[in-house]
Amino acid sequence: MGFKVLILGSGSALPTNHRNPTAQYIFCNNRHILIDCGEGTQIQLRKNKVRLQKIDTILISHLHGDHYFGLVGLISTMHLLGRDRDLTIYGPDPLEKIVRMQLEIEGYPLGFKINFVSINGDSAKEIYRDNAIIIRTFPLNHRIPTNGFVIEETPKKLKINKFLFELDKVPIPAAQLFKMSQNYVSNAGKEYSYERYTQPPDKSFRYAYCSDTKYDESIIEHITGASLLYHEATFANDMKERARQTYHSTAEQAATIAKKAKVSKLLLGHLSARYGAVYMHLDEAKAVFENTYVVNDGDEIVLY
């Protein structure tokens, strides 16, 4: 169990020696998720000792190359390594055609099935749920349809107060019912209240991912209260007009969204190659939202 975010690429469209295009690996309660897949993502996964074959879900925010050009290479490598388990890819409509055409030209059928699920940045909705995690998407405001994502843990069960449980010699089968907020009645007809024998559950974490987007307060309702927010900050305030023209954000604008959404921590990424240092982004963001960090390739953020 656990929740961590690994930054594989923290740069924008133009790669540099220090920043690869966008990609992130998410580990949440034994679920392995890749968000975006810029060029070189499979190399970054290897450098950071992530087993490619564990990834079962890929989320593609939009179809600008720095967010998906690494996808076909990653899929091909999975095949060469003998993958036989299904892979599910969520992304805009044209993505399936783009990927399948390139794979067909190679002339080698894959040894596993790819399930494409269309999400076109046009509405907010839940796209996945199991007993451990929930994934939602919501629209961002970019030049082409773009998806934001929220990955969160399902609500956790109540914890047993072992001292009282053992003190009152409660029958063992009661524990599972107590965790689900249900009372237990013994064979002799004695009722045990779950409220006496339980404690509040551990905190459930939420991670919100906002890739390419201009400043737009309509996203706030979808990310409010997130434990961790990643928001693009392509530019600093010296290029605020350029950010507006290209439908990107400044660090200060990202921090304003974080503050209004009452998130716990803000990560800034997707930095333009124009910036060799990050002090401008950090200073401008922290003036609005103190708990801000500029990410680098290889950074790992653990939620606990």
Q: Integer distance in angstroms from the first to the last C-alpha of the chain? A: 11
Q: Tell the burial category of 109 from Cβ atoms under 10 Å away from its Cβ (0-12, 13-18, 19+).
A: exposed
Structure tokens that stand for 264 in this block = 């716990």
If one counts every other C-beta atom within 10 angstroms of the C-beta of residue 41, the result is: 27
The phi and psi torsions of 12 (rounded to 5 degrees) equal: -105, -145
Which residue among the candidates 36, 66, 212, 297 is catalytic per the annotation? 66
Q: Is 114 helix (H, G, I), strand (E, B) or coil?
A: strand
Structure tokens that stand for 174 in this block = 């009661």
Q: Identify whether the C-beta of residue 213 lies closer than 8 Å to the C-beta of residue 249.
A: yes
Distance CA(35)–CA(23), nearest Å, equals 6
Distance CA(170)–CA(191), nearest Å, equals 10
* Residue 66 designated active-site: yes
Task: Specify the length of the chain in residues.
Answer: 304
Buried b (16+ CB within 10 A) or exposed e, 4-32: ebbbbbbbbbebeeebbbbbbbbbbbebb
Q: Identify whether the C-beta of residue 170 lies closer than 8 Å to the C-beta of residue 179.
A: no
Distance CA(74)–CA(79), nearest Å, equals 9
Which residues form the catalytic set? 66
